[in-house]
Homo-oligomer: A and B are copies of this chain.
């Protein structure tokens, strides 16, 4: 068997890919547009071509084709049939994993956030934890619930939609059609949008964080509301799932203690009869999805414990060239 897999993490607008060896070495990486504007057939063709090109690079460097392929995709995934059922931003429905791969090798498909959670679980901030929440806070918010050592997607793969739980039941309308969703207060986009609306000047979440640190009162108010919304969602998650930790990732977590310090205080205040789980920072960054896809690839190749012996330093190397 050849000693590498091809791994691809498909996002809404771009995808990241890599060649990952059995010892966790990232032999090559790449990035490419998803081509969503070309419709679902264009996305499928783009992924297929990307996988093929990465396999060609692997063959040129390592002498053989890949042992398997792992792919992380947004939307809804049926693990049992390895089919990408649905993704609003890519427009596709019922795409079999084999359509995404131009080679005759095993392939495993995973949900993007849960695949990132798998990587944090095996290689990252959740390495020794069997039950935790991985919460990347970016353009949107979705969580990967790690339960009994594995990402859990619910009955039909729709689990982990913590970004759309009603934290303020009479609150603001969310783009999803519901009222008071966490995401409409606390995603990176929401923080930028809500500041811009109040200050009359456009700003990104990163800029709002910087303004908050500088004492800007409008920015501080928006930041505080995001933190309060997050504390409610995490109190709810804690009371229901009793996780051993909450691993914060995504763009908003880049703010570090500016986010985690007040969040820890507010979370503890919302919990009267139990302690709050510790908040940890995700360590794999934007590479989590691709590394998780590599783990899926190794599972497809029949090596389910791949990753266990990989060096913890591996994830800290830049994974996207």
Contact = CB atoms under 8 A, between A and B. Distances in A.
B236 A154 contact: no
A131 interface: yes
Contacts of A291: none
Nearest to A168: B169
Majority DSSP secondary structure for residues of A touching B = loop
Contacts of A164: 239, 273
B235 A271 contact: no
Contacts of A270: 166, 178-179
A271 B178 contact: yes
A147 interface: yes
Interface stretch (A11-19, A63-71, A186-194, A240-248): A240-248
A74 B301 CA distance: 46
A235 B157 contact: no
Nearest to A143: B240
Interface string A167-183: 11100001011110000
Nearest to A156: B242
Residue among A131, A161, A179 with the highest chain B CB neighbour number at 10 A: A161
Nearest to A240: B162
B165 A239 contact: yes
Contact of A244 (B152, B155, B169, B178): B155
A157 B273 contact: no
A241 B167 CA distance: 16
A77 interface: no
A102 to B, nearest CB: 33
Contact of A161 (B158, B169, B240): B240
A162 B235 CA distance: 11
A158 B236 contact: no
A237 B164 CA distance: 11
Interface string A225-264: 0001000100111011111100000000000000000000
A168 B273 CA distance: 18
Interface in A274-297: 274, 277
A272 interface: yes
A84 interface: no
A145 interface: yes
A117 interface: no
A161 B165 CA distance: 16
A132 B232 CA distance: 23
B235 A273 contact: no
A146 to B, nearest CB: 11
B242 A159 contact: yes
11 contacts: A143-B240, A145-B241, A159-B241, A162-B240, A164-B239, A164-B273, A169-B232, A177-B273, A178-B270, A178-B271, A179-B270
Given A166-B236, A167-B169, 17 more contacts: A143-B240, A148-B148, A154-B243, A155-B242, A156-B242, A159-B240, A159-B242, A160-B240, A160-B242, A161-B240, A165-B236, A165-B239, A166-B235, A168-B169, A178-B271, A237-B240, A240-B240
